[in-house]
Amino acid sequence: PTVERTLVLVKPDGVRRGLSGEVLRRVEAKGYTLVAVELLDATPGLLAEHYAEHVGKEFYQPLVDFMMSGPILAVAIEGQRVVEGFRSLAGATDGTLASPGTIRGDFARSWGSKVMQNIVHGSDSPESAAREIALWFPKL
Ligand code: DAT
Ligand code: MG
């Protein structure tokens, strides 16, 4: 069994709403280990790398503006199958449709441009996780 890592971001809406602790509580209650935690302000360059797959899409600039609207809590976590496991804790991208019991399902709704205000980011594969952790935590 290979222990893996993933990147979690509590997005500016989650930090603003005081949900950072709730996200960390759920991660720890699930049995994952915190590896690194940092509150920071994203820059356009960091976000262009982080969201490279979305650069050029119509929602990209609104997404960047939102991600720069306040501090982000970046968290690297560790555990067996943690990439899939945190995506499961986070729930579907669209908070309106995300299952109750998930972070997004319990705390996010979406309409219009609000779909990006879905509390958390979680890496979508071990390869993405390695790339994203290197971006947000260059010293790890
Ligand atoms: P996820 O965060 O579930 O991995 P994603 O990688 O497809 O979703 O998109 C990244 C973020 O961009 C997502 O959390 C919310 C936003 N987003 C995705 N699709 C969008 C759309 N069609 N309109 C507006 N924002 C969108
Ligand atoms: Mg994604």
Q: What is the pLDDT of residues 2-58, one digit of tens each?
A: 899 999 999 999 999 999 999 999 999 999 999 999 999 999 999 999 999 999 999
pTM exceeds 0.90, yes or no:
yes
Q: How many Å apart are CA 115 and CA 63, to the nearest integer?
A: 10
The per-residue pLDDT for 10 is 99
Beta sheet of 3-10, edge-to-edge order: 33-40, 72-80, 3-10, 120-122
CA of 51 to the centre of ligand 1 (A): 10
Q: What CATH number should be reported for the domain holding residue 60?
A: 3.30.70.141
Instruction: Show the domain range for 43.
Output: 3-136
CA atoms within 13 A on the CB side of 23: 35
59 is in an annotated binding site: yes
**74: enclosing H helix or E strand:** strand 72-80
In total, how many domains does the chain have?
Answer: 1
CA of 22 to the centre of ligand 2 (A): 21
ipTM above 0.90, yes or no: yes
Q: What is the pLDDT of residues 70-93, one digit of tens each?
A: 999 999 999 999 999 999 999 999
Pocket test for ligand 1, best of 8, 23, 51, 59 (most atoms within 8 A of CB): 59
Share of the chain above pLDDT 90, in %: 96
1 pLDDT tier (thresholds 50, 70, 90): low
Pocket test for ligand 1, best of 54, 88, 93 (most atoms within 8 A of CB): 93
Q: Give ∠ CA 13-53-135 in degrees, rounded to 5.
A: 65
